[in-house]
Amino acid sequence: MTEPSHIDRIRAQFTKQWEVYARLKQTNDPKPLAGLVRISGVSPGQRVLDVACGPGFLTRAFARSGARATGIDATEAFLEFARAEARDEGLSTVEFRAGDAERLPFDDESFDVVACRAAFHHFPRPARVLGEMARVCRRGGRVLVADMIGHDDAERATLHDRIERLCDPTHVRAIPAAELERLFAEAGLRIVAAPRSTMDYDAHEWIAHGGPDADTTREILTLLEDAIDGDRAGLRVRREDGRLRFTHQTGLVIGERPR
């Protein structure tokens, strides 16, 4: 039997978990979504592509700003949800299409802004995806990538990625900030901003988005507990009000395609 491809595993994972993922506050919080739209510099009427759009929260935020927004994703369950939400909002300048981030089905220079949020850690070949994003962005346009950031310390990064993969087997690697910025340079994009931030999680709520079995859940919780002393995973795991919590370091890189 042929081993399923990575994109097939992504489809299977998020077809199973799409509803839990869509309800996660960190996924649908309107404040950071509006912030991404604002910092992108998009103007009404401009063309925006949201790569690996998932439930389409960012795509629809761009459409609400007056942009002509397209979301592309490999998981049809996400696309169905996103289309239904757009219809309910009465958004007429948004569309959602199925596709592969490594082979975007658009002509060169089709968009003014090309964005990808919370997905680069899923890509086995992030340079290829970023190259495609740059290709479909017009000269003078902007490319945005927002995601969790990997730790510079190799041991912490390895443990972090292990915990992530136990929760969601489609996680590949959290990319360190310096490496992500290097990928932008290699794609011919001039970095105009690279702000950093954090995102806090309740461990049990976060685990639910991946849907691991009971044994794997216990393993994740044990690893998180063990990581408290010395911040061994670089996740600032702690106990707050009796709840196990941790923090992702996050980053946004905005690049401009030279004219």
**Which band of pLDDT confidence, cut at 50, 70 and 90, is reported for residue 13?**
very high
User: What is the per-residue pLDDT across 199-212, written as a single tens digit (0 to 9) for each?
Assistant: 999 999 999 999 99
pLDDT at 3 over 70: no
- Listed by start position, the domains of the chain span 6-151+169-201+249-256
The two structure tokens encoding residue 123: 């890509």
- pLDDT (0 to 100) of residue 234: 98
- pLDDT (0 to 100) of residue 258: 96
**Which band of pLDDT confidence, cut at 50, 70 and 90, is reported for residue 4?**
confident
- pLDDT (0 to 100) of residue 2: 55
Distance CA 45, CA 66 (A): 6
- pLDDT (0 to 100) of residue 138: 98
Among 54, 50, 187, which Cα is nearest to 128's?
187
- pLDDT (0 to 100) of residue 153: 97
CATH number of 6-151+169-201+249-256: 3.40.50.150
**Which band of pLDDT confidence, cut at 50, 70 and 90, is reported for residue 25?**
confident
For residue 69, how many C-alpha atoms fall within 13 Å in the half-sphere facing its CB?
28
Q: What is the DSSP letter of 232?
A: T
Q: Which amino acid is at 91?
A: L
User: What is the per-residue pLDDT across 106-143, written as a single tens digit (0 to 9) for each?
Assistant: 999 999 999 999 999 999 999 999 999 999 999 999 99
Average pLDDT, the chain: 96
Residue in the structure block whose two tokens are 């495609």: 132
pLDDT at 1 over 60: no
User: What is the per-residue pLDDT across 72-115, written as a single tens digit (0 to 9) for each?
Assistant: 999 999 999 999 999 999 999 999 999 999 999 999 999 999 99
Distance CA 144, CA 150 (A): 18
Among 160, 52, 31, 149, which Cα is nearest to 98's?
52
Distance CA 138, CA 155 (A): 40
pTM of the model: 0.95
